[in-house]
Amino acid sequence: MSDNQSLKTTGAPSLEELRAASMLTTLADLEEKACLCIECVEEIPCNPCETSCPQNALTVGSPITNLPVIDREKCILCGLCIPACPGLAITIKSVDGDMARIRFPWEYLPLPVKGQKVEMVDRQGQVVCPGVVIAAINPARNNRTAVVTAEFSKEFVENVISIRRNHEIL
Amino acid sequence: METERKPAIVVGAGPAGLCAAIELKKAGAPVILMDENSKPGGQLFKQIHKFFGSREHKAGTRGFEIGKELLTESLNLGIDVRLKTEVVGIESGLKVWAVENRNRSYTIEASKLILATGATENALSFPGWTLPGVMTAGCAQTLINVHRVLPGKRVLMIGSGNVGVIVAYQLMQAGAEVVAVVEALPKLGGYGVHTAKVARAGVPFRCATTILRAEGKESVERAIIAKIDSRFQPIPGTEETLEVDTICLAVGLTPSIELACIAGCKEIYIPELGGNMPGHDRYMRSSDESIYVVGDIAGVEEASTAMEEGRLAGIHAAYAMGYLDEATMKARTEETVQRLSSLRQGVFGQKRFAAKQRILEKGAAQ
C-alpha cells in the first residue's frame, strides 16, 4: 500500500494512489460498463456501505477497518450506498457515446436542479469542464444527503468527482 | 442481593454520561445525572455529520440524532436529570457539592460517582489572537449549528485533525468560504475521506505551516501564515497574507480533570490522548474504586468511544451497587469491550488503542 502522500498533504488522493488501492475507475473500465466507485483508501472503523447494500455486493467484514470490496457481479448500481457513506466517498460513473455521467453525494445548499449548467471539479476542487445536472434527488431515507447526477464530456471522467460549490457568500 | 440505596451520581450529560446513566437506570439502580448546561447532550447536538462505525455504533446517523435518541431513552427510563447544576466540589465520603441555577447550593451523598466531564479545547497564542474573530473550532461549530449564526465569511482553519476538517466542511455548509486549512505537522491529521470532501470544495491544505499573526483594526482582517521547518520554526521569506475575517483554532483538546483532581483520583500523563488525566482500569474505575471516569476526561477520543466507555462504567457501577449479578456484568462488559475495540482499529485507531492500553497498565498498577 502506498503512503498516500497526496491524500495526506493535499487532502485528496491522486490517481496513482487510487490505482495503488485498486480504487481507480478508468475510462476503459467505463467504456465496458457503468461502475460503482469507492474512494476509501484508509483503514477507518466504518461499514455503513456494507449494511446499506440490499444486494450484499459490498463487503467490509471483520475487522471493521477493512477497506470495502465491491462484487461487481452483484452490484446493480442502485446507488443506496452513496448517501449511506459518512465519508461521501462513493459515486457511480458511466459512459455513453461521447458523454459521461456521475452520481455523487451533495450536502450543500442550494440543491442543484435538473437542467442546471454546472462546472465539474476534480478532487482538488479545480474546475475541469462544464456539465449539466440530469437529476437531483433528496428522499427522506437519504437523511439529508442529496444524490445528484451530472453529465459532461467523457474525456474528463477519471478526474471528475463533483461539481463546483456555489461560492456566493450569503 | 444487598442493594445500595444511595444514588450513583453521573457528572456530565454528554454521550458518555448519558450512556452511563442509562445503563444504571436500566439495571434498576438509583441514579442522578447532573449537567451545568441548560440542555443535555454535551457536544452531540453540534454534530450534524453522519457518524462512522458500525450499526451498533449508530454509524450513518447524524450526531444530533444520536443525542435525541439518548435523550428520549433517558426520559423514557425516568432518569433524574438535573440541568443548570454545576458540581463544584467532591468531599470525602463521596459527598457531591452542587450549585443549582447559580443560586442554590446543596450536597448529596453518592454511592458511586461517574465523572463524564469531557474536555476543553486548546488555544494557540500568537500576536493578534485576542482580536474578535479568533475562536476555537468548537465555538464556530456551536455558533453555526446550535445558534445558526455564521461567525464570518472567510475562514482560516488552524489544525487538520478531524475536528478541524469537519468544522471546515460545516462552515461551508453554513455558507462561509474556507480560505485554507493549515497544519503544523508535515502530514494532515484527519480521516482522508473528511479531507477529501473539503479538498473537492476547492479548499487548499497547507502542511508544515503555521500562523504567525492575525491583523486587523477592530477585528480580524487578515492572517499571516508561513512555512515552518522540522523544528517548527518559521522559515523566513515564506510568509503569506490571507484575507480572512475568522480564524478557527482546532489544535487539540485537554481532558477536564478538575473534579477528578479534587476527588483525589491519581493522575497520569498520556500526551496522545490530551495530557494529564485520571488513570482507570478496564471497568473505567479510577484509583478510587468508587469513582469512574468516562469519555474525554479519560483520554480524548470521540463520541462513539465515549458512549461505550459510559456503558462500561454504568454496567460495573450497577454491579458494584448490587443491581446486576457478576455473570451479567461480565458478559455485558465483554460485549462492550468488543465494540470499543472495533472502534480502535486501523491506522488511526491503533495509536489510541496503544495509548488506552498504557492507561490500563498504569491504572492497574495504582
**Region A38-60 average pLDDT:** 96
Same fold for the pair B8-120+253-364 and B123-249? yes
Rama region for B360: left / alpha / beta (φ>0; ψ in -120 to 50; rest): alpha
> Which residues in A100-117 are b (16+ Cβ under 10 Å) and which e?
bbbbbbbbbeeebeeebe
Lowest mean pLDDT among B213-222, B266-275, B343-352: B343-352
> Whole-angstrom Cα distance, residue A4 to residue A14?
8
Sorted by sequence, the CB contacts under 8 Å of residue B248 that are 6+ apart come out as: B135, B136, B137, B139, B140, B155, B156, B157, B158, B164, B167, B168, B171
Q: Spell out the residues 6+ positions from residue A93 whose beta carbon is closer than 8 angstroms to its own.
A: A25, A30, A34, A35, A37, A100, A101, A102, A103, A157
User: pLDDT digits over A81-125, tens only?
Assistant: 999 999 999 999 999 999 999 999 999 999 999 999 999 999 999
- In this complex, do B60 and A109 lie within 8 Å of one another by their Cβ atoms? no
Residue B353 has pLDDT above 80, yes or no: yes
Q: Which amino acid would we find at residue B321? A: M
**Among B49, B193, B199, beta carbon nearest to A89:** B193
Q: Any chain A CB within 8 A of the CB of B28?
A: no
Q: Which three cell numbers stand for residue B1?
A: 442481593
Residue B84, judged by CB atoms within 10 A of its CB (0-12, 13-18, 19+), counts as: middle
Phi and psi dihedrals of B336, rounded to 5?
Answer: -65, -40
Q: Which listed CATH number (3.20.20.70, 3.50.50.60, 3.30.365.10, 1.10.3720.10) goes with B123-249?
A: 3.50.50.60
* pLDDT number for residue B54: 86
Count of pairs with CB atoms under 8 A, one residue in A, one in B: 150
- CA dist., res. A42 & res. A21, Å (int): 9
Which chain A residues are within 8 Å of B347, Cβ to Cβ? Answer: 42-44
Domain range annotation of chain B: 8-120+253-364, 123-249
Q: Which residue has the cell 515564506?
A: B238
CB contact under 8 A, A124 and B200: yes
Q: Which of A64-68, B2-6, B64-68, B235-239 has the highest mean pLDDT?
A: B235-239
Residue B224's Cβ-count burial label (10 Å; 0-12, 13-18, 19+) is middle
The model's pLDDT over B281-320, given as tens digits with 9 standing for 90+, comes to 999 999 999 999 999 999 999 999 999 999 999 999 999 9
Reported confidence tier of residue A170, pLDDT bands at 50, 70, 90: very low
| Mean per-residue pLDDT of chain B | 96
Confidence of residue B364 (pLDDT cuts 50, 70, 90): low
- According to DSSP, the β-strands at B8-11 and B31-34 are parallel
Q: Check: CB of residue B38 under 8 Å from CB of residue B84.
A: yes
A23: helix, strand or coil: coil
Q: Is the ipTM of this complex over 0.95?
A: yes
Which residue in chain B is spatially nearest to A119 when comparing CA positions?
B201
| Separation of alpha carbons A95 and A138, rounded Å | 24
List the beta bridge partners of residue B255: B119
Q: Which among A11, A43, A143 is the nearest to B196, CB-wise?
A: A11
CATH superfamily of B8-120+253-364: FAD/NAD(P)-binding domain (3.50.50.60)
Task: Please measure the distance between the N-terminal and C-terminal CA atoms of chain B and give it in whole angstroms.
Answer: 30
pLDDT(A1) > 60: no
Reported as a single tens digit per residue, the pLDDT across B2-32 is 788 999 999 999 999 999 999 999 999 999 9
Percentage of chain A lying above the pLDDT 70 cut: 96
* Distance of residue A48 Cα from the nearest chain B Cα, in angstroms: 6
The three-class DSSP label of residue A17 is helix
Q: What is the pLDDT of residue B362?
A: 86
The grid coordinates of residue B147 equal 445558534
Per the structure block, which three cell numbers stand in for B167? 468544522
Grid cell, residue B49, equals 455529520
Give the right CATH number for A25-163 from 3.40.50.10420, 2.40.110.10, 3.30.2020.30, 3.30.70.20.
Answer: 3.30.70.20
CB contact under 8 A, A41 and B344: no
- Among chain B residues, the shortest Cα distance to A159 is held by B200
pLDDT at position B365 is: 58
- pTM for the complete prediction? 0.96
Residues of A in Cβ contact (< 8 Å) with B165: 11
* CB contacts, 8 Å: A42 with chain B: 191-193, 346-348
**What is the pLDDT at residue A161?**
98
Three cell numbers, residue B225: 501564515
Those of residues 146-165 in B touching chain A at CB distance below 8 A are: 150, 153-154, 165
Joined together, the cell numbers standing for residue B171 give 462552515
Residue of B154, B342, B347 with shortest CB distance to A64 = B342
